[in-house]
Amino acid sequence: MARLTPEDLQEAMIWAILLVLAVAMMPHAAHRLSLLIRLRRLRSEPCPPPVNGDWPRITVQLPIYNERFVVERLLRSVAALDYPRDRIEIQVLDDSTDETTEVVAQIVAELRQAGVSVEHLRRPARAGFKAGALQYGLKRAQGELVAILDADFVPSVDFLRKAVPYFFDPRVGMVQARWGFLNREENLLTRCEALFLDGHFLLEQAVRSKSGLFFNFNGTAGLWRKSCIEDAGGWDGETLTEDLDLSYRAQFRGWRFVYAPEIVVPSELPAPLTAFRTQQHRWAKGAIQTARRHLPALLRGAFPLRHKIEGGFHLLSHTIHPLVAALALLNLAVLLAPWRSSSLQPMVSWSFTCLSLSFLLYLLAIQRLDRGKLGASDWLLLPVSLGLSLGMSFANTHSVVEGALNVHSSFVRTPKRGDCGARPLGRSYRARHGWGLPLLEISVAAAFLWALVAACRHGLWFALPGCLLHLFGFGFVGIGTFAAILKERRLSTAVALA
Catalytic positions:
95, 243
Q: In whole angstroms, give the CA distance from residue 446 to residue 464.
A: 15
